[in-house]
Amino acid sequence: MNWPLLNLDMLMTPEMTSRILRIALLLLAGLPLVYMAAGWLRSGLSKKFTPQRAMIGGKVVQYGGITLIGVMLLHEFGFQLGALLGTAGIVGIAIGFASQTSVSNIISGLFLIAEEPFVVGDIITVNNLTGEVLSIDTLSIKLRTFQNQFVRIPNETILKSEVTTVTRFPIRRIDLLVSVAYKEDLERVRNVLMEIAAQHPLCLKEPSPQLFYEGFGSSSIDIKLGLWATREDWLRVKTDIFERVKKRFDEEGIEIPFPHVSVYTGSVSEPFPVKMADGDAKG
């Protein structure tokens, strides 16, 4: 049997040699260079920006570089890029229509990362659901609630909803609603409450505690006490102050009234008349 001879001289034209060299260069030098550039950018950005932003910057360079090398390789192999891109566009539109929700979530995710309303580790409230942000991913964010439940929320939902980032700022205010009886001396009550705040070592001296009157309630005068604590100490201070107010009010004889109704018969100042009935009382 006569095998066709492979004529290397015919294949190894100067043009072909140069093409092979370019392909080798793209694969052996271009790809490592892209990965190195992405790594440098990521570490450089992480010094100035959050890890999320640094990661995005690195990914953009990485994927952009790989795409560029891919296109250049296809060009070297003789593909017509115009026709290829046209086909890719048509396919892209078809896929886009078929996966609108996913695409919307991906784009929402990019906006969330760029806007950065919260970062991983923050505590947020979305639609009455509060939890710690575990991750911000391409399609959704993941939360861990305080009941230790795992919640996945699509990025699009986050972008459309009102989101409260509880741990955004380093200090938080504690609002304590205190009700006292009408008979109490309000100046004394004020002094006692301020003293309780001043004596708690974790209650911040500055911003200073503040007190104002909410109004005359049906059974009590309602007072609002505003105290500041760091976000780490917030819950502890809130619990402690609540206990201390109750204990101190008991010691000082300051009444925290429960709802009550006064019944009187015609005159504001006259007591309700009570009569003892004569004779044998039975029953």
Partner 1 sequence: MPKTVPDQAPEPPRLSWGKVSLPDNEPGLFSLGHLRLWLKFFDGDLWLCPVQAAETEAEIALPAAPNWQRWTLGKRHGQLEIVPALPDLPLVINPEDPLHLPPGIECQIYVSIPLWVELQIGKNSLLRVPTLQLSKTWFGNFVAGELCYALTTRARRVAGRGAPDPWIVHCPITIHNGDDENLDVEKVRLEVSRLSIYEYEQARWANQVRVHYRGQRHFSEIDIVNGPPSEVSRAKRIRKSRVAPHRSFTAKTFSSLADLAGLDFFNR
Q: Which is nearer to partner 1, 205 or 246 (CB)?
A: 205
CB burial string 239-274: b at 16+ within 10 A, e below:
ebbeebbeeebeeeebeebeeeeeeeeeeeeeeeee
> Residue 275 has what DSSP assignment?
-
Q: Are strands 123-126 and 163-165 parallel, antiparallel or unpaired?
A: antiparallel
What H or E segment, with its residue span, contains residue 210? strand 210-216
Q: Which is nearer to partner 1, 201 or 279 (CB)?
A: 201
Q: Are 50 and 78 in contact (CB under 8 A)?
A: no
Minimum distance from residue 191 beta carbon to partner 1 (Å): 17
Q: Which two tokens stand for residue 248?
A: 């101190």
Minimum distance from residue 169 beta carbon to partner 1 (Å): 6
Q: Which is nearer to partner 1, 156 or 233 (CB)?
A: 233
Q: Which is nearer to partner 1, 106 or 211 (CB)?
A: 211
Q: Which is nearer to partner 1, 57 or 226 (CB)?
A: 226
The rounded distance, in Å, linking the Cα atoms of 76 and 261 is 92
Minimum distance from residue 136 beta carbon to partner 1 (Å): 22
Minimum distance from residue 112 beta carbon to partner 1 (Å): 21
User: Which parts of this chain interact with partner 1 (CB under 8 A)?
Assistant: 169-171, 173, 175, 198, 200-208, 210, 212, 226, 228, 230, 233
Minimum distance from residue 214 beta carbon to partner 1 (Å): 11
CA atoms within 13 A on the CB side of 36: 6
